[in-house]
C-alpha cells in the first residue's frame, strides 16, 4: 500500500460491514465506519480498541441527504479526501410483488441504491482530484438470479450493478475503479435465525454445499480496495460458492 487513504464503509456496525471494517484495519487502512445504530457502533469501537487499533465511527442516517453529505464532507476535509468507498448498507422489506406497498419499495431503494448514489457522487470529487479511487458496491446474487418475495431488494441491488459499470466507464482514465461484490448466502445475524429446513434447502443449490462467512466477503472487498486490483473495474464478483453460475 503506497500511502494511507481513508476508507469509508456504510452499514458498518454489524454483519458484513463490520467484517469489512476489521479486515481493512488489519491491512493498515484508515477506516471510517458509518451506521445508524449508535450502540453497535460503540461495540465496534470497543472491539477495535481492544485489538490495539482505532476506527472512526459516525452515526448517521444515510437516507438523510443533508446529514449524510455533511458527514462525508467532514471526513473528506479531515483526511484529504476519500480514497476507498464501500457502499455496504442495505435493508430488506420482503413481500410478494402483489402484496408490496410503495413505501416498502421506496425505503429499500433509498437505503440500498440512492444512498450509494449520494456517497459515490461525493467521493468521486476527491478521487478524481487525487487520481486514485476504489468504489466497491455490495450487490447480491438476488440481482443476478432474481429472488421471489424480494423484488424491491433485487431491483435495488441490480441498480447498483448498472450504476457501478457506468461509473467505471466514466472515471477509469482517472485511476478510479468501480466494482461490485455480489454475496450469496452469508451467515449473519439475519440469516442465522432462518428455520433449518430453509437453510438445508438453500445449501442444495450451492455447489460448495455450505454458506459463506462475513470474512469471505470482507477479504474480497479488501482485495478490490488494494493497489493490486488497479486493472479490475466494472466487474461483478460473486462471493456465493457458485450459487449464481
C-alpha cell at 48: 477495535
CA distance 242 to 185: 11
d(CA 8, CA 124): 13
Cβ-proximal residues to 89 (8 Å cutoff; 6+ apart), any chain: 10, 11, 17, 34, 35, 62, 111, 112, 115, 116
List the beta bridge partners of residue 212: 186
Q: Which of 79, 105, 153, 185 is the catalytic position?
A: 153
**Per-residue cell: 99:** 402484496
Provide the 8-state DSSP code for 96: -
End-to-end CA distance of the chain: 33
153 is catalytic: yes
Sequence-ordered list of residues with C-beta below 8 angstroms from that of 215, at least 6 positions apart, any chain: 19, 23
Alpha helices in the chain (DSSP H): 15-26, 38-50, 65-79, 102-109, 115-130, 141-145, 151-171, 189-192, 196-203, 214-225
Q: Which residues are catalytic?
A: 153
Amino acid at each position: 500500500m503506497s500511502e494511507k487513504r481513508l476508507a469509508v464503509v456504510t452499514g458498518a456496525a454489524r454483519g458484513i460491514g463490520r467484517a469489512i471494517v476489521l479486515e481493512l484495519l488489519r491491512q493498515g487502512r484508515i477506516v471510517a465506519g458509518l451506521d445508524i445504530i449508535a450502540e453497535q457502533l460503540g461495540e465496534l469501537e470497543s472491539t477495535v480498541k481492544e485489538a490495539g487499533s482505532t476506527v472512526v465511527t459516525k452515526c448517521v442516517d444515510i437516507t438523510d441527504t443533508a446529514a449524510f453529505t455533511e458527514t462525508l464532507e467532514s471526513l473528506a476535509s479531515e483526511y484529504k479526501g476519500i480514497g476507498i468507498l464501500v457502499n455496504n448498507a442495505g435493508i430488506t422489506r420482503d413481500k410478494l410483488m402483489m402484496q408490496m406497498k410503495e413505501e416498502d419499495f421506496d425505503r429499500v431503494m433509498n437505503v440500498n441504491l440512492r444512498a450509494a448514489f449520494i456517497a459515490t457522487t461525493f467521493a468521486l470529487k476527491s478521487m478524481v482530484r487525487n487520481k486514485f479511487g476504489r468504489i466497491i458496491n455490495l450487490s447480491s446474487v438476488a440481482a443476478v438470479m432474481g429472488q421471489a418475495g424480494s423484488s424491491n431488494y433485487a431491483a435495488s441491488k441490480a441498480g447498483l450493478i448498472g450504476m457501478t459499470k457506468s461509473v467505471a466507464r466514466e472515471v477509469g482514465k482517472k485511476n478510479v475503479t468501480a466494482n461490485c461484490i455480489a454475496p450469496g448466502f452469508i451467515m449473519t445475524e439475519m440469516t442465522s435465525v432462518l428455520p433449518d429446513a430453509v437453510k438445508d434447502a438453500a445449501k442444495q443449490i450451492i455447489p460448495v454445499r455450505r454458506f459463506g462467512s462475513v470474512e469471505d466477503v470482507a477479504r474480497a472487498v479488501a482485495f478490490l480496495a488494494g493497489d493490486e486490483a488497479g486493472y479490475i473495474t466494472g466487474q461483478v464478483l460473486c462471493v456465493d460458492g457458485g450459487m449464481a453460475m
